[in-house]
Structure 1
Amino acid sequence: MTAKKKGVAKIFVLDTNVLLHDHNCLYNFQDNDVIIPIVVLEELDKFKKGSDQINYQAREFVRIMDKLAGEKLFTDGVPLGPDKGRLFIATGKPYPKVMEESFAEDTPDHRILAITIHVTEIFKDRTVVLISKDINLRMKAKSLGLKAEDYETDKVKDIEVLHKGVENVENFDPAIIKRIYDHGSIPRNDFPMDKKQCPSNQYFVLKNGATSVLVWSDPFNNVIRRIEKENAFGIEPRNAEQTFSLHALLNPDIKLVSLSGKAGTGKTLLALAAALKQHNMYKQILLARPIVPLSNRDLGFLPGDVKEKVGPYMLPLFDNLAVIKNKFNQQSKEYQLIEDKLKREELIITPLAFIRGRSLSDVYFIVDEAQNLTPHEVKTIITRAGENTKIVFTGDIHQIDTPYLDMQSNGLAYLTDKMNGQDVFAHVNLVKGERSYLAELASNLL
């Protein structure tokens, strides 16, 4: 293997999970060289078939590799583009003694480590870094004296962005509070905060002593507007955050909403209630969530047909629908509307994978458990939005079930960070649990 810019450029060895996380990752290492261990290509083979996002990533990455290579050989390095490094494929290497003494099993992870050790020993004058989203593999690498890092490209630098959708302001100018009460709004220029402190669709609780008012930074009319509580299909907001959430969910000008917060704060319930209240505005209401099988086992191990396999994963969504239905008696028009929409498939509760390939025009689309999506998956969903479609992502970044995502790299955090301040986007972080005193106590203490 011949390498470029000896002593200057770094060498990055990529783990399989990096390629499955972002099929465009090869272009994110600047002018440094990239090595793909051949065992990674072997692992990619296992993921090429299927309809899940991970299968799509595997296929796209292989296509990128094929296009880059053309008639060239990877042994000589393939240029990644202008101002980029070169791409190499590293074949298998013998286990060094330290690995033989440390690991009894021959696994793909250990072969990747062996290749990283080999590259480090050959290029002593260059920095060699193993890039993996697997924390345990990074720990093994560091135990062997190797540099190892997470894939940082799509990580949110300031996780506090998820808590900035709502701000409580104490000792606020009482004269401005009175003006807002009297007139319903004030010009944006009369509000004592700049654009950075008060971006589009920011929500505030303005307080002065016993007086307070809920307001919204309205980007469409360039005013700070008062918000009053509004119920939706039998669901009434119980706190300021839920009031703000319903406002964003019911506002037709806000096409994209993210709701974060711990379990029991009402994220999914509010989104579904808002969708039902606006049922005449959309041809269909879709409520979906990604399936994360227990212990990373495929759904195939479960008994029954497809519906029986995915049923247990969809129960929380049906529970939210049941809460709304229980607000009405069975003869009421609201109850019958829900039943009719379910029968006509105008209200669908489904695994997210089953949405692939569907048109998202005239749809109110709610994506639950969005913290278990990658940034690329979130982008794929949003870019499918057609005319008159609203998309709502809900989730809790403290409850991530996939092994290669964390609080900073999940799709919900990434979306909120990148879209913050856009006119068509609003975010609310819900803090107070409303299920019960016991549920709130357990969430806070256990």
Structure 2
Amino acid sequence: MPLPKLPTRMGTVLSIAEDAVEADPVIAPAPVETPAARQPAESRATPPATPAKQPNLAVVKPKGAKKTRLPSSRRKLFVLDTNVLLHDSNSLFKFEEHDIFLPMIVLEELDHQKKGMSEVSRNARQVSRFLDGLVGANGDLAKGMALDALGNQEALGSLYFQTSALASELPIELPMGKADNVILHVVHALQAVYAKRQVILVSKDINMRLKALSLGLDAEDYYNDHVLDDSDLLYDGVMPLPENFWTKHGKDVESWQQGGTTYYRVKGPLCAEFIVNEFVYFEGELPLYAQVKEVSGKSAVLATLRDYSHGKNNVWGITARNREQNFALNLLMNPDCDFVSLLGQAGTGKTLLALAAGLTQTLETKRYNEIIITRATVPVGDDIGFLPGTEEEKMLPWMGALEDNLEVLHLGAGNEMSSGGGQEWSKNTTMEIIRSRIKVKSLSFMRGRTFLNKFLIIDEAQNLTPKQMKTLVTRAGPGTKIVCLGNIAQIDTPYLTEGSSGLTYVVDRFKGWPHAGHITLQRGERSRLADYASETL
């Protein structure tokens, strides 16, 4: 792109408009007349040019930079349940221009939950710090405290504490010994005090919301942590092309080769819907399997893929068995792709593909010097208690999937057991080398670490919160690749849903970044029994 031409005239003074930011006016100095004797010869020979009339420019304030505070009568009053604060410590500042009310029983429950090292206890302590800072910045509890006093500019409402007893009679008599019932009484009393305002209970407890609705009280879930309202709208990383794709996009196609890859620049209406690093395919007379590398208006650059379903392109003896697995291996083996997320039901090959790609790039190509595997230690059934041993020994019971996939990779693609003693000894030596390059780490000790040239696999990522996922992904140093595996239909962490899981969070936020990719694996390849069980049970 050529550089713009240099200016030929002096700049003019900007005048301040009426709606501009208030500032001292800038006064231009009067032009100083130069005596003819002191002017250079060229200046005396050339008559001065008449300056053209310049446009009257003004400094304009950006509109919509900050919302205005609503009058109290137009604000909603949200009564927060304790579980909302324990779920998201920043929830106090997520209600924009509306007000928040905290009953006294909520403060009591926060005090009970603050001891311990769990995520819930950390959130309880953080909420207490926020409340202490707001009280110190405002002072008067009765008049309410501005929520933006700590620097949260989007929180334009006020925070109110329960400073007096609120008596009310519910349509149905409830026992007062339970905290949920006390909060319901407070909400009912607030409706009478603030008759002209909408009072809404916000709770993560479904039964609590049902009881509130049955008593004629407004109740809502806490939606701010939901990335998507419907998990069916989650980005799957694949777009099938319509049958008329070449008819509408086949004109003026440019193609070139670079580094063994063929690139196509296509133009048409569908290109605007493409996402960078998304896979597109067309299975017709002119089949196409490609990855979107660039999107610019109604044109896009597509790159052909490497066929990992062929035996000559096997990854540690593993070949792709279906289309999505081939897409996944193209992401896993791409050195320019720093973050890969793989979703899929049980048996689709998520862990096997990631482990095979990690071993190939660690032991063969030496791109990474170590494989690190971690996962959320959330039990499916009853907790078996504390486990003895070191960090790796404590994590081994959670890593059964790692051992199973290592056995598959150890036996090879054909699962042939050699009978010769020398070959068996060689295989055992290879297994020891593999295990020496794989480290199992716990999530509890990840904060503050930096991984350099590591292949990090996060298994069962659907059980992580968005905050935990951010902590893990920000551990990546130069040359590190992070692979997230999970199935959002198998969430075992309380208060996490398909829409609020950390895995859903990163898939949605990394969508379209040139150094990240995502694939949702569709077909199960474990066994016919596992496939049938997934469909019918």
Give the TM-score normalised by structure 2: 0.72
**Equivalent residue for 1:390?**
481
2:435 counterpart of 1:342? yes
2:378 counterpart of 1:292? yes
Cα distance in structure 2, aligned partners of 1:195 and 1:163: 17
Task: Give the letter for the 2:497 counterpart.
Answer: D
Cα distance in structure 2, aligned partners of 1:49 and 1:333: 52
2:522 counterpart of 1:410? no
Farther off after superposition, 405-414 or 323-332 = 323-332
Whose helix proportion is higher, 1 or 2? 1
Cα distance in structure 2, aligned partners of 1:133 and 1:431: 32
User: Which residue of the other structure, out of 139, 145, 157, is the alignment partner of 2:216?
Assistant: 145
2:317 counterpart of 1:234? yes
* Unmatched runs of 5 consecutive residues or more in structure 1: none
> What is the aligned length?
435
RMSD value, Cα: 3.3
Q: Confirm or deny: 8 A CA contact 1:93 1:118 kept in the other structure.
A: no
User: Which residue of the other structure, out of 140, 143, 149, is the alignment partner of 1:76?
Assistant: 143
- Residues 255-282 of structure 1, C-alpha deviation per residue, up to 9 Å, x if partnerless? 1111111111111221122111111222
**Equivalent residue for 1:362?**
453
Task: Give the letter for the 2:263 counterpart.
Answer: I
Cα distance in structure 2, aligned partners of 1:149 and 1:198: 36
The alpha-carbon deviation at position 167 of structure 1 amounts to 1.9
Cα distance in structure 2, aligned partners of 1:284 and 1:50: 33
The alpha-carbon deviation at position 117 of structure 1 amounts to 2.4
User: Which residue of the other structure, out of 491, 502, 525, is the alignment partner of 1:400?
Assistant: 491
Farther off after superposition, 377-386 or 329-338 = 329-338
- Residues 325-349 of structure 1, C-alpha deviation per residue, up to 9 Å, x if partnerless? 3328675878645533534xx4123
**Equivalent residue for 1:432?**
523
Question: In structure 2, do the counterparts of structure 1 residues 244 and 442 end up closer, same or farther at CA, with 3 Å as the change threshold?
Answer: same
The alpha-carbon deviation at position 94 of structure 1 amounts to 6.9
Cα distance in structure 1, aligned partners of 2:411 and 2:109: 49
| Structure with the greater alpha carbon radius of gyration | 2
Q: Confirm or deny: 8 A CA contact 2:316 2:409 kept in the other structure.
A: yes
Q: Confirm or deny: 8 A CA contact 1:53 1:377 kept in the other structure.
A: no
Cα distance in structure 1, aligned partners of 2:129 and 2:368: 38
Farther off after superposition, 92-101 or 236-245 = 92-101
- Residues 144-200 of structure 1, C-alpha deviation per residue, up to 9 Å, x if partnerless? 222111221232336344343112224242996999899952333x25455542111
Q: Confirm or deny: 8 A CA contact 1:10 1:128 kept in the other structure.
A: yes
Farther off after superposition, 379-388 or 218-227 = 218-227
Farther off after superposition, 121-130 or 220-229 = 220-229
2:263 counterpart of 1:186? yes
User: Which residue of the other structure, out of 190, 195, 198, is the alignment partner of 1:127?
Assistant: 198
Task: Give the letter for the 1:154 counterpart.
Answer: D
Any residues of structure 2 matched to 1:57-72 within 5 Å, and which? 57-70=123-136, 72=139
Task: Give the letter for the 2:303 counterpart.
Answer: R
Aligned-partner SS, 1:173: helix
2:108 counterpart of 1:42? yes
Q: Confirm or deny: 8 A CA contact 2:358 2:371 kept in the other structure.
A: yes
Q: Confirm or deny: 8 A CA contact 1:170 1:208 kept in the other structure.
A: no
- Residues 113-169 of structure 1, C-alpha deviation per residue, up to 9 Å, x if partnerless? 332223223212111112222222222221222211122123233634434311222
Cα distance in structure 2, aligned partners of 1:334 and 1:64: 58
Cα distance in structure 2, aligned partners of 1:39 and 1:26: 17
The alpha-carbon deviation at position 376 of structure 1 amounts to 2.2
Aligned-partner SS, 2:485: strand
Question: In structure 2, do the counterparts of structure 1 residues 445 and 101 end up closer, same or farther at CA, with 3 Å as the change threshold?
Answer: same
The alpha-carbon deviation at position 430 of structure 1 amounts to 0.8
Task: Give the letter for the 1:379 counterpart.
Answer: K
**Equivalent residue for 2:5?**
none
Cα distance in structure 2, aligned partners of 1:419 and 1:388: 18
Q: Confirm or deny: 8 A CA contact 1:21 1:374 kept in the other structure.
A: no
Aligned-partner SS, 1:70: helix
Cα distance in structure 2, aligned partners of 1:195 and 1:220: 7
User: Which residue of the other structure, out of 226, 234, 242, is the alignment partner of 1:162?
Assistant: 234
Cα distance in structure 2, aligned partners of 1:85 and 1:114: 23
User: Which residue of the other structure, out of 108, 123, 136, is the alignment partner of 2:179?
Assistant: 108
User: Which residue of the other structure, out of 265, 269, 291, is the alignment partner of 1:216?
Assistant: 291
Q: Confirm or deny: 8 A CA contact 1:434 1:440 kept in the other structure.
A: yes
* Unmatched runs of 5 consecutive residues or more in structure 2: 1-69, 418-422
- Residues 211-233 of structure 1, C-alpha deviation per residue, up to 9 Å, x if partnerless? 53321112499731111214322
Question: In structure 2, do the counterparts of structure 1 residues 94 and 28 end up closer, same or farther at CA, with 3 Å as the change threshold?
Answer: closer
Q: Confirm or deny: 8 A CA contact 2:351 2:401 kept in the other structure.
A: no
Q: Confirm or deny: 8 A CA contact 2:81 2:106 kept in the other structure.
A: yes
Task: Give the letter for the 1:225 counterpart.
Answer: A
